[in-house]
Structure formats: C-alpha cells, structure tokens
Chain A
Amino acid sequence: MKLESKTPDGPVEKKWDKARFELKLVNPANKRKFEVIVVGTGLAGASAGASLAELGYQVKVFCIQDSPRRAHSIAAQGGINAAKNYPNDGDSIWRLFYDTVKGGDFRAREANVYRLAQVSNAIIDHCVAQGVPFARDYGGTLDNRSFGGAQVSRTFYARGQTGQQLLLGAYASLMRQVGLGSVKMFSRREMMDVVLVDGAARGIVVRNLVTGAFESYAAHAVLLCTGGYSNAFFLSTNANSCNVGAAWSAYKRGAAFANPCFTQIHPTCIPVSGEHQSKLTLMSESLRNDGRVWVPKSSGDRRSPDLIPEEERDYYLERIYPSFGNLVPRDVASRAAKRIIDEGRGVGKTGLAVYLDFADAFKRRGVGAIKEEYGNLFDMYHHLTDEDPYQAPMRIYPAVHYTMGGLWVDYNLMTTIPGLFCLGEANFSDHGGNRLGASALMQGLADGYFVIPYTLGGYFAASKLPKADPGQQAFKEAESGAAGRVKKLLSIKGKRTPVSFHKELGSLMWDNCGMSRNAKGLSEALARIPKIREEFWRNIMVTGSGSEFNQTLERAHRVADYLEFAELLVRDAFERRESCGGHFREEHQTPDNEAKRDDANFCHVSVWEHQGPDRDPVLHKEPLKFEHAHLAQRSYA
C-alpha cells in the first residue's frame, strides 16, 4: 500500500489556495450527472450533503436514527473555535493552527491543521447566515469564551447547546435540499458494506432497520461521515447508536485505518453511579472557564465539601499548571485527576470523582450570569445526580468521549480506496494525539462545508467512472455477505446477550487500554479479545427475526464489529511505544508524570492495512514533518 498524502508543496499558508487552483472543476451542467452517497448526518455529513446538493450534485443521504437531526453532533455542548479575533486578544489563523498542532501533541498533519484554521472563520459566517442563534453581547455582536489549551477566547457558543444549534443549521440546509429534490434522504438505515467496482467505491449496502431488508445504492463516490468509535469502551459519552461499523466495513474492503489508539478521555463527566449504567454524560469543558477543580489535601478526607476549609483544599490544576490553570487540555486534566484519585484523594461515595466548584464564580459574576451561560448543563447535572449544583460542587470523573484516530485520508479527504471519502470524527486527520475543546465542531463543518465541495469535484473531473448500478455482481456479493452475517447472528441461539459481550469488552478496554496503558496490560487484552470474540460467535443470543425492526440484532451486529476493531485499537496502542496526547504509556513519562513523546521513533501516523480475517494487519507509517509548528515538549505549566 502506497500512502500519498497529496499535500501540496509550498508554504503552508498557500497550500490550500494552491490545491484549490490545481483541483480540476466539474462544470455546473455536468454536476447533475454525478451521484454522491453520504453516510451519516452529523455535522460533517449534513454539511457535506447540503453543500454538494447546492452545487448541483445528486445526493443520497443515509442515517441510522429516525431523523437526520438526531446525529450525535447534537450533544456537543460548549462551542466551536474560529480565529476571528473579535475579542482583540491576540488570536490569528497562525495561533489557532499552532494551538491545535501543539494540543494534538504533534501527531497531526500540519497542512491539514492549517487549512482547518484557515476556513474556521467562514464557518462562523455561514452558521450565522443560517440563523444559528449564537450568544451575543448587548451591542449585537457575537460573544466568545475560552476553552482548554488556548490562552485566547476564540470559542463561539449557543448556551450549552452549540452542537445542537450548529447541527440544526446544517440539518435545515439539508432539509432545504430535500425539499428542492436534490437530496434523497434515507433514515433508519445502517450501512453494512461499501461496494467497490474496478477498485473504486461505487455504492453501499444498507440494512433497512424497519423492515430488515438489505438495500443497495450506487453512486460515483461515497462519503463516510459516521463519527467515532468511543463505544468500543461500552461506557462513553457517545450516543447508543454511535458505532464503528461503516468505517470498519471500509477497512475490511481496503481503506487503511490510522492511529486507532488515539482516544480522548474527557475530564469532566458525571461519574459512574452503578452496574446498570448504560452511558456517561459529559459536562462541557466550558464549565472550566468558571468552575475550579479541587480535592481535599489529605487522602481519605470524607467530609462534605462545605465543611472542608479553603486551606485544606488542593486546587491541583491551578497548582500544577499555573499559566493554563483549570483550562489545560483534556488529556492533561484527565490524567491529573487519575493521579489524584490514585493517591486516594477522590471524593463522593465511590471516591472516583473530583469537585468542579462554582462557588467563586457565583460570588464574582452572580448566580444569574452563570445560569444564563450554563443553565442547561446545571439542569442536566441536577436531573442525573439529584444534586443541585447551585448548592454543592459538581462531582466529575473522566470518561471516553472522542476518538482522534479514524480512516486514513489524504489532503483531499479520500481514503486509500479511490472514491471513498471520510469526513469529520470518522477520519484521523486534524487532531493528532489529542483534540482540543471546541475543535470537533470546527473540523466536522470544515470538512463538509469547505473542503469536500472542492476536493470531490477534483476527483470526479480527474476520473473515468462508468455507470454503476445495484444490479451489478459486486453489489449482489456485498448484499449476500451482509445477509449471511445477520443470518449467522440469528442462528446461534446461545446463552448470552449482545450487551453482556459489549460490557465485557468495554471493561477490558477501559482497564487495559484506557487512561493509561502499559505493555503487560495491552498484551493481556490482545490475548483476551479473540477469546471473547470466539465465545460471542458460539454463545450469542439474538431474539426475533431478520425481517423486522429488531434492536437486539442491531446491537449484536455492532458488538461483533467492536470485537474485531478493539483488537486493532489495542495493537496500535501496543506498537506506539511512546506517550503522546491521549495515548499514555506508563513506560514513557517524564519525572513529573507527564506524557513523554519519542519523536525520533514515533513522529508518524500509524496506518493499518487489513490482510484478511485470519492474518495480522500490516503497519505502514506516514512520517510527519513539522516545518512551522516546531516540535516541542508540551508545557502548560
């Protein structure tokens, strides 16, 4: 496999202009002759679907939920970054670029990150034009707040519902195109396979989740905008239906998978309350603007927080990282919490939590101002925990939240399969080893609104793509493959439920490949995952039939994918013998327990190529060069 990043040469600030000029164009009248399939309707998928239809392409859009408006981007809370510099505090495209590369611990592709920073401002302009009700000041201009890993206020927000508002903006644009007839929308469909004809992606097979029927759709290109794989850990902040299936099926068809071990553990989530827990809930990072993180100074201090005097509290983030304080990047904050808790200084019933305290902010800004900015988050916390965060500090604990790894893409967002593109969280490209807060929304929309409309045209104009149709042999084969798997799942009639396997895998992943990892734990996981998988295919119980609405079957199918994918994730974590970003290998840390990168040996993207079901994947490396954001030890002290 040859990895060609297709990054244009020349100075980084000119690369995107150069690429846009060099990409061939499809003339307006010819655009309607091209069909595009978009899978997923989060920020990346909805924005891509709408923008491509506006250009004149014929677009088919698929989503797993009952409506495209429900994709998990909807749950993003805090905000979206852009280099507008409206607050006059020293921001610029260069600074956003540098912060993002550094925040990602120098494991992202420089040119991609620069482009992301470059288009960030146009995203805000477009969303405002769509009627997204961003927060504003009394003069009518847009307001900003701060987020982790930055010393400027560059985050635009709509209360604690920024993801919802941006997604509804993209969804509205998509619905407009549905009304105009240029987008055909298919909801309650799960992608089962990507179909290749003459080596290029020419369609997909989906399962209709209402009828159970397998359906094939052909197009000239396929865009996967299917999000991340946090649910490999069972408990994560992701929605229940988030899954790796679409990306994994593409991997098995030859799309390389990059950096699967780069997973983000978010520091501020509501702690686990018991065995019954089905998911975890995030409390936005924006809360760290006003909340102060602390634990008691002495271990085993079980007093209620209001009885612990100021001098017996340890505001440990402010103490260890004085210049960024509570706003250090997520990976840094999560690991600090883990160290503190390992010292026995955790709080709450289980001891697996730290406080996020707003008492000072209430005094400084007033309860009203805090309520206006974060009211819905406080309500959410109250609902879940039955504790009033206006009265007592929140208890928080890290949880799996986002995955930086994903399908490998070139500068044009194309995977190693021609015609198969990957956008948003599902690709690997922009966040390196750790994503900064408020950058996921930026990347999803950058890919969909401002990158793919150019690069897809370039692909079409430069390729010969004879007509494909669902009657072709390749489609029939993919359909029968998918049907065979479903049939097998239904026929085993074993003793264990899909959820029980998912939980078993998840707890193994969290224990052995979670916030901190070591060679021994990873080897154990590598040995155990195939055994769980073997039992799954012998002992799974799936009730109901394949020709009806069957959520048990849906879950079993997704768990089967996770049982394959998790092994690649662990293998990648094992092979990356350095610590960087969210990937912390205990063998590689500085004397003060920070992540220690090994730039001499690991300054690359790890790119995995599938070799068939019973053979180990092959590791390729895309070297990373840092010509502008110079390699440096990350310091937030």
Chain B
Amino acid sequence: MKVTLRVWRQTGPDGPGRLVSYEAEVPSTDMSFLELLDTVNEGLIAKGEDAIAFDHDCREGICGMCSQVIDGQPHGPDKAAATCQLHMRRFKDGDVITAEPFRAKAFPVVKDLVVDRSALDRVMTCGGFVSVNTGAAVDANAVLVPKDDAEKAMDAAACIGCGACVAACPNAAAMLFVGAKVSQFALLPQGAPERVRRVLSMRKAMDKEGFGHCSNEAECEAVCPKEVKISNIARLNREFIRALAVSDG
C-alpha cells in the first residue's frame, strides 16, 4: 500500500515551520509508523537530503521519548499507545497521514518533530520525590501498605512522562503529569511526611514553567498512553486545597 505523509519540518526553535508531503510505500502493514519514518529517512539520506528529526528510543511504549501529534492526536489514533506503538495496519491505501510535534508553550520545538520537554524534569526537581538518603531505609516490610492503595499508586506511577497530556490539553496544562506524581506519593505512607510541601512546590513549579490549568476537558486522559486517570487531577486539587488549609502560608 501507499500513503502520503505530511510532516512538520522546522530547522530550529526560531526557524519557520511547514508541512512537507512525502509519498511512502508501505511494504508491510506489520511495520510501525516510526519504521515507516525510518524508511522515508533512508530514502532522503540516499538523496542527500536532511532526514526528518523525531524523538524515539525504546520503541515499546515505555521510555516516553516519542512525541508526535498524528492526525491531530498526540500519539495518534490508537488508545493507550505511544507513537512508537502505532502500526501501519491502522491505515489504508491512499491515506494521508499528518505528523506534527507536541505543541505547548512549555515545549519549544528543537527541530522538526522534536520538542524540548525539560520543563517536566524541572517540575520534578520541586518535590517529585521522597526525601530519603541511601542507607536510611527501614526494612521493606516494616511499613504495611494496603494492596488497594499500592495498586492505585502504581496506576498513577505508570506515567511515562511523555507530555501527551500537555499536548492534548487546550490549556497546555501539565496537571495530569503532576497529579500522577502527587497521587502516587499521597497514596503511599512513604510520601506522607512531605505531603504538604510537595504539592505546594510542584504546583508552583508547574505555573512557573508556563503550563496552564485544568478546565476539565479530559483530553489528557483520552490520549494518555498509560491510561492515567483524570481522577489524579481531582486528587491533586484536593491535596492542594488541603495543603493550603493546613500550611502556614
């Protein structure tokens, strides 16, 4: 089968960008969308042209590196899948497929489909952890954690930090990302000592980076490759209000 790719090309953060069309032969529908991009790139390089830059690494949906908006949806049309898990069997002969970078004020374009998501790391430096030094831990079974809490914490911790939630949100909010981390630690006894500090500090950092606020569109949940639930945003808000109430300022 044959498809037409419309790919966002942009030389750098300040350069102009535009969609460029490429005709692509799809030798097997078992190939992934990224493998089709590989094939297109092989052709471009052979012609001496610049390959399409795109982020990818593990290609099995866990590292969170891949980050494309495909046909208007972050990570493409499949539910619960990262860009790298999109396969060509999802498309048919003659389809026109549009690939763009994640777009958000806090994610400047590096080149073509590659964006800078270091803002998410900076938010993490402001409380996305438990302050425990190596060597200081008690025996692993000394603190019991109800299975349901551990499971819910794991649901939140499944976040791969890809930023699709930000790209999908009309407000470019990172509240699903922050909510997932705040929830993981709010649900576990290990997170309790820093419960107040953490949520206040991460909220502040999130605002500082230029992420917006949640207005209950639920686009984030719809595109999340790990199906992190919007209820984590509700928990984030609850933790935030609680923290405001119990903190001194």
CB distance from B53 to the nearest CB of A (A): 6
The answer to whether A69 touches B64, judged by C-beta atoms less than 8 angstroms apart, is yes
Surface stretch bound by A, among B1-9, B80-88, B207-215, B229-237: B80-88
Q: Which residue of A lies closest to B159 (CB)?
A: A168
The answer to whether B128 touches A133, judged by C-beta atoms less than 8 angstroms apart, is no
CB distance from B13 to the nearest CB of A (A): 9
Enumerate B15-36 residues with CB–CB distance to A below 8 Å.
27-28, 30-32, 34-36
Which listed residue (B38, B134, B154) contacts A499, Cβ 8 A? B38
> How far apart sit A68 and B135, CA to CA, in the bound complex (Å)?
23
Q: Which residue of A lies closest to B90 (CB)?
A: A386
Interface presence of B244 (CB below 8 A): no
The answer to whether B46 touches A380, judged by C-beta atoms less than 8 angstroms apart, is no
Residues on B with beta carbons closer than 8 Å to the beta carbon of A72: 57-58, 63
The answer to whether A173 touches B48, judged by C-beta atoms less than 8 angstroms apart, is no
Residues on B with beta carbons closer than 8 Å to the beta carbon of A379: 80
Interface presence of A366 (CB below 8 A): no
Interface presence of B241 (CB below 8 A): no
Max count, chain A CB within 10 A of own CB: residue among B117, B128, B138, B154? B154
Surface stretch bound by B, among A16-24, A102-110, A138-146, A297-305: A138-146
Residues on A with beta carbons closer than 8 Å to the beta carbon of B216: none
Interface presence of A240 (CB below 8 A): yes
A239 and B61 in contact, given A129-B132, A175-B128, A178-B125 (Cβ under 8 angstroms)? no
Which listed residue (A65, A173, A543) contacts B50, Cβ 8 A? A543
CB distance from A108 to the nearest CB of B (A): 25
Residues on B with beta carbons closer than 8 Å to the beta carbon of A497: 42, 45-46
Residues on A with beta carbons closer than 8 Å to the beta carbon of B64: 67, 69-70, 74
> How far apart sit A137 and B85, CA to CA, in the bound complex (Å)?
32
Residues on B with beta carbons closer than 8 Å to the beta carbon of A136: 145-147, 150
> How far apart sit A128 and B143, CA to CA, in the bound complex (Å)?
9
CB distance from A77 to the nearest CB of B (A): 9
Residues on B with beta carbons closer than 8 Å to the beta carbon of A541: 45-46, 48
> How far apart sit A380 and B87, CA to CA, in the bound complex (Å)?
12
CB distance from A496 to the nearest CB of B (A): 8
Enumerate A59-86 residues with CB–CB distance to B below 8 Å.
65-70, 72, 74-75, 84, 86
The answer to whether B136 touches A129, judged by C-beta atoms less than 8 angstroms apart, is yes
Enumerate B177-212 residues with CB–CB distance to A below 8 Å.
184-185, 188, 190-191
Which listed residue (B39, B120, B154) contacts A133, Cβ 8 A? B154
The answer to whether A172 touches B130, judged by C-beta atoms less than 8 angstroms apart, is yes
Max count, chain B CB within 10 A of own CB: residue among A75, A132, A133? A133
Q: Chain A: interface residue count, which band? A: 35 or more
Residues on B with beta carbons closer than 8 Å to the beta carbon of A122: 135, 137
The answer to whether B57 touches A241, judged by C-beta atoms less than 8 angstroms apart, is yes
The answer to whether B147 touches A140, judged by C-beta atoms less than 8 angstroms apart, is yes
Interface presence of A363 (CB below 8 A): no
A240 and B130 in contact, given A541-B46, A543-B48 (Cβ under 8 angstroms)? no
Interface presence of B62 (CB below 8 A): yes
The answer to whether B42 touches A161, judged by C-beta atoms less than 8 angstroms apart, is no
The answer to whether A74 touches B138, judged by C-beta atoms less than 8 angstroms apart, is no
Residues on B with beta carbons closer than 8 Å to the beta carbon of A499: 38, 42
Which listed residue (B55, B62, B124, B139) contacts A66, Cβ 8 A? B55
Interface presence of B141 (CB below 8 A): yes
Max count, chain A CB within 10 A of own CB: residue among B85, B125, B188? B125
> How far apart sit A126 and B50, CA to CA, in the bound complex (Å)?
47
Interface presence of B74 (CB below 8 A): no
The answer to whether B56 touches A126, judged by C-beta atoms less than 8 angstroms apart, is no
CB distance from A170 to the nearest CB of B (A): 10
Residues on B with beta carbons closer than 8 Å to the beta carbon of A134: 140, 150
A128 and B190 in contact, given A72-B58, A142-B141, A383-B85 (Cβ under 8 angstroms)? yes
Q: Which residue of B lies closest to A50 (CB)?
A: B134
Interface presence of A415 (CB below 8 A): no
Residues on A with beta carbons closer than 8 Å to the beta carbon of B34: 278
> How far apart sit A75 and B63, CA to CA, in the bound complex (Å)?
7
Enumerate A75-122 residues with CB–CB distance to B below 8 Å.
75, 84, 86, 121-122
Which listed residue (A86, A276, A279) contacts B141, Cβ 8 A? A86
> How far apart sit A601 and B121, CA to CA, in the bound complex (Å)?
51
The answer to whether A125 touches B154, judged by C-beta atoms less than 8 angstroms apart, is no
Enumerate B103-156 residues with CB–CB distance to A below 8 Å.
110-111, 114, 116-118, 120-121, 124-126, 128-141, 143-147, 150-151, 153-154
The answer to whether A133 touches B57, judged by C-beta atoms less than 8 angstroms apart, is no
The answer to whether A74 touches B62, judged by C-beta atoms less than 8 angstroms apart, is yes
Interface presence of A577 (CB below 8 A): no
> How far apart sit A531 and B160, CA to CA, in the bound complex (Å)?
42
The answer to whether A124 touches B140, judged by C-beta atoms less than 8 angstroms apart, is yes
Interface presence of A27 (CB below 8 A): no
Surface stretch bound by B, among A394-402, A422-430, A547-555: A547-555
Residues on B with beta carbons closer than 8 Å to the beta carbon of A176: 125, 129, 131
Interface presence of A165 (CB below 8 A): yes
The answer to whether A74 touches B63, judged by C-beta atoms less than 8 angstroms apart, is yes
CB distance from B132 to the nearest CB of A (A): 5
Interface presence of B78 (CB below 8 A): yes
CB distance from A6 to the nearest CB of B (A): 23
Given A126-B134, A276-B28, 14 other A-B residues pairs in contact with their CB atoms under 8 A: A65-B63, A66-B55, A70-B58, A70-B64, A126-B137, A176-B129, A176-B131, A239-B58, A274-B27, A274-B30, A276-B39, A279-B59, A383-B61, A549-B111
- Top 8 A-B pairs, shortest CB-CB distance: A140-B144, A179-B125, A172-B129, A129-B137, A125-B137, A133-B154, A273-B30, A133-B153
Interchain Cβ contacts under 8 Å between A and B, 14 examples = A74-B64, A121-B140, A130-B130, A130-B132, A131-B185, A133-B154, A171-B124, A173-B129, A276-B27, A279-B59, A383-B87, A544-B51, A548-B111, A551-B53
